[in-house]
Copies of this chain bind each other. A is one copy, B any other.
């Protein structure tokens, strides 16, 4: 491909709406072009990379015996009604009506459709195990589409689904997919972590995420020296054992004027009610946070969360726990409806289904029986001291809503946790029987008995991968593609204007292409060498060959885009050097 004919224009400036490196670079280097928020066109360079990612995914899916099919993107409402996702997806779903007024949707994922297809065609244990996959365009109406193709509203996914007669089969299918994902992630050159994930709204049991490690990632995950790794939403808190509280004095309310924050409260406690053993800390206080849960069907419910005062509520962890409800702030109007709630001094005395407000009250798992707390006394300017969990108050249950912090213990005892950020690129998931039950997918087993099929679902973000690779591999000059998915193998630049250079370059390109090397040939006669080099570094093809002054000595320069290493290679050796 000649640069003079390639449909591309590199841009000097970052697009105004771009925040992350991959977004800036893919637009500047002419790989994609924005059409609407979260909706992009693929230009020739981008489409070549996309096709290479697709080919790798396809190879690894075929290698585990998965068969390719393709579902439509425009789907009827009924199957999603049966699984309840028509409602649960809320505003994330693109909905529309056809000319007859029939409700339809643009598929965000296809569990329902695959379940129905297998139900439609298969009926016996002899037909199983079965794995099907598709590489297909999906839609999600993201609230804040940004980060370019890293988080688009129209995107390409590989989604596969496994069908087994029993749990043991599901486990085998799951492990086969997991191993295929490891190979895909290795081949794409990702820096990645496989972490335990919360099963969340998808239903089902075992679930792991493949995260690309990147500071720009939207997901936080943890890992321990002993090998534990989990999405922060899936981390379970290590709770202390119940504690004896025989000698603990009775709870006593005290005047604590002007202490609406944890910090002012702790200072006040240390000044007016000093402890003998040590100073009060925020961890001694029990903070009660109110939120409103908004359900997809439009109803809402207040929720009170009690967590140690040294921690914040982690919105994502909370959302995972209450899904499919959305979490909204508890506003002034809400407070007015509950006059028993005294802002800044809310305590367990009015919370919980048995107390004055009747608001459901869930506490952090650290609030075990016998733990002593300072918390609001439900009167302005007053807190209760020596309030003992299990003696003086009981919550409606526990909730994993407090932030996870570096240094927290791993739940499996494998050491202190470290926090990192990642991009969710893959998700392997033992769905179990949720969809098969909802849609009636049963087959006859060996004894002629109808049994519900065990399913797994396995997603991989094909278009997202094109961007995520860059988040792992770029520098201040541009993209640095791994060889496996670079749009071309070699970027050959003619550095001067000497016709002999162009002739030599023509000849080298022909030789390389004959040897199966994909070459992007910068043959532009009137563009300066400086601009050509900048373009080459921005576009990021792994090997740059420069036909320049060295030609007089029979050599060309071969430069490694990643390391910047250069060396002169005799013309006659170029093909063997690069193949």
Contact = CB atoms under 8 A, between A and B. Distances in A.
Interface of A: 5-9, 30, 33, 35-36, 39-44, 47, 50, 65, 67-76, 91-92, 94-96, 98-99, 102, 104, 106, 113, 117, 120-122, 130, 132, 137, 139, 141, 143, 153-154
A69 B44 contact: yes
Nearest to A76: B36
A121 B9 contact: yes
A316 B154 CA distance: 37
A7 B41 contact: no
Contacts of A5: 65, 67
A443 to B, nearest CB: 13
The 5 closest A-B pairs by CB, nearest first: A96-B96, A42-B70, A91-B99, A9-B121, A36-B76
27 contacts: A7-B67, A8-B121, A33-B117, A35-B76, A36-B72, A36-B74, A36-B76, A36-B102, A39-B72, A39-B74, A41-B69, A41-B70, A41-B71, A41-B72, A41-B113, A41-B117, A42-B69, A44-B69, A47-B69, A50-B70, A74-B154, A92-B99, A95-B96, A96-B106, A98-B141, A98-B153, A99-B143
Contact of A130 (B7, B95, B121): B7
A96 B99 CA distance: 12
A75 B35 contact: yes
What is the copy number of this chain in the assembly? 2
Contacts of A33: 117, 120-121
Nearest to A42: B70
A137 B73 contact: yes
A71 B35 contact: yes
A144 to B, nearest CB: 11
A47 B75 contact: no
Contacts of A36: 72, 74-76, 102, 104
Considering residues A8, A33, A139, which has the most beta carbons from chain B within 10 angstroms of its beta carbon?
A: A33
A50 B143 CA distance: 35
A271 to B, nearest CB: 51
A7 B76 contact: no
B72 A47 contact: no
Contact of A153 (B8, B35, B74, B91): B74
Contacts of A44: 67-69
A122 B9 contact: yes
A27 to B, nearest CB: 11
Given A41-B71, A41-B113, 20 more contacts: A5-B65, A6-B67, A33-B117, A33-B120, A35-B71, A35-B75, A35-B76, A35-B113, A36-B74, A39-B72, A41-B70, A41-B117, A47-B68, A47-B70, A72-B154, A73-B137, A73-B154, A74-B94, A98-B141, A99-B143
